[in-house]
Amino acid sequence: MTTLPHDVTGFEVLQPGTYDGGTYLDSSPDNVFWGRLPCQDDTPRAVVESGAVVTVDTLSHEGILEDQGKDPVEFFGRYGVRAGDVLEDAKAVAASALAHDFADDGPHVVTGPIAVRGAKPGDLLAITVLELTPRVGYGMVSARHGFGALPGEMPVPGVTEPVTTFATAVPGAGAGTGEMLVDRDDPSRGRITFPLSPFLGVMGVATAGPERLHSVPPGPFGGNIDVNLLGVGSTLYLPVQVDDALAYFGDPHFAQGDGEVALTAFEASLRATVRLDLIPGGAAGVPAPYAETGDLLVPIGLDEDLDEAMRDCVRCALDLLAGRYGLERHLAMAYLSAAGDFAVSQVVDVVKGVHGKIRKADLREVRR
């Protein structure tokens, strides 16, 4: 079988432990949860003050899952990836005794938690993404039966194994370009190319109580939100659920379209540098997760019913416009209908997501 050689990508492989800056957490088995999210009772892997900048390694689940053989060297070797270019933490997690029940747990490897000293329920934790660096130059898009936007139709009925598409990442303008061969057995048929836009699908805070939640459905705590606007320069605001917040990170993506219709996006490991800021009492104004970029306010709505997720997102948008700009809700609603944009974040995580895009420039002349 002919495959696209990994060595054309040009990305350095960032193995765990190769970072020598400030606070750093690798994604070795001692620092991750697999398929479950940290809860109140979990011991923090690092403790920082508000305003701290931390760097975390995040690890894609592709290549380590049970239905892929749980052997990333063998799995990625099928696509021409050399053994030395497979991440050591991927090998270690796959071979570890970490609790993971493929039938009952989620797929995600989650790094953390990180305690932010002094955080209390009712506060907001602002997570600002400062840098996202590819750890490898390759990744996967996968689909499985019964999941995705077309369960029962795609993948083709009768296929029992996961359907995976290998993709490579090529450095270039912006974040670079993703590439997929149209036919791995006949590379002359060409390739599909698309821009890379890295982000973390999972950023969250721990929930109260002793139960570790399933890693797939997002919620008020954040988690697997899968909003593709949360790249470098964005800030995600999460209502703190427990003392010290206990933040965590995972589900790294090189690219994802709105909807994430196949089940996964272009899944590949990232090193993330973020700043963690507490906003005391901040959750009183907008209790739902929301985000912003340099240009946009990004309300977020979450619910198992997509229609209700849309309504939840509009309510969040109204709260933001009322809280930040003092707009009366009927005027804010009229503005959103005239100029706000709403998109389906994902339809594959049980709890579906909708996010809005409100241009800050539209509101620059508003005075409170």
Place of tokens 């975390």: 56
- The residues pairing with 274 across neighbouring beta strands, listed in sequence order, are 54, 129
Contact between 73 and 86 (Cβ < 8 Å)? yes
185-216 burial, b at 16+ Cβ within 10 Å, e below that, comes to eeeeeeeeeeebbbbbbbbbbbbeeeebbbbb
Say what the pTM is.
Answer: 0.95
| pLDDT 10s digits, 47-90 | 999 999 999 999 999 999 999 999 999 999 999 999 999 999 99
pLDDT digits (tens, 9 = 90+) for 300-354: 999 999 999 999 999 999 999 999 999 999 999 999 999 999 999 999 999 999 9
* pLDDT per residue as tens digits for the range 29-39: 999 999 999 99
| Angle (nearest 5°) at CA 57 between 176 and 208 | 125
* Residue with the two structure tokens 């809280």: 323
* Region of residue 122 (left: phi > 0; alpha: psi -120 to 50; beta: else): left
Are the C-beta atoms of 175 and 195 separated by less than 8 Å? yes
- Rounded CA gap, 266 and 193, in Å? 12
pLDDT value for 312: 97
pLDDT exceeds 50 at position 6 = no
* Residue 355 in tokens: 């996010």
Whole-angstrom Cα distance, residue 215 to residue 223? 7
CATH number of 6-283: 2.60.120.580
**Count of beta carbons in the 10 Å neighbourhood of residue 171:** 14
Please report the DSSP string for 104-136 in residue order: TS-S-EEEEEEEETT--BTBEEEEEEEEEEESS
**pLDDT surpasses 60 at 163:** yes
Domain with CATH 2.60.120.580 in the chain: 6-283
Residue 318: exposure state from Cβ atoms within 10 A (0-12, 13-18, ≥19): buried
Read off the pLDDT band of 284 (50, 70, 90). Answer: confident
Average pLDDT score, the chain: 94
Q: How high is the pLDDT of residue 9?
A: 57
What local confidence, expressed as pLDDT, does residue 150 receive? Answer: 93
What pLDDT score was predicted for residue 5? 44
pLDDT digits (tens, 9 = 90+) for 104-147: 999 999 999 999 999 999 999 999 999 999 999 999 999 998 89
In angstroms, the CA 264 to CA 226 distance is 10
- Taking phi over 0 as left and psi of -120 to 50 as alpha, with beta for the rest, 309 belongs to alpha
Torsional class of 134: left (φ above 0), alpha (ψ -120 to 50), beta (otherwise): beta
Question: Residue 111: in which H helix or E strand, if any?
Answer: strand 109-116
Specify the domain boundaries for CATH 3.10.28.20 within the chain.
Answer: 288-363
Question: pLDDT band at 156, cuts 50/70/90?
Answer: confident
Confidence (pLDDT) at 297: 98
Architecture of the structural domain at 288-363: Roll (3.10)
pLDDT tens digits for 232-282?
999 999 999 999 999 999 999 999 999 999 999 999 999 999 999 999 999
Contact 181, 193 (CB under 8 A): no
pLDDT at 1: 34
The mean pLDDT value for 83-108 works out to: 96
High-pLDDT (> 90) share of the chain, %: 86
């931390």: which residue's tokens?
A: 54
Gyration radius from the chain CA atoms: 20
What is the Cα 267 distance to its own chain's centre? 10
The residue among 200, 201, 227 whose CA lies nearest residue 313 is 227
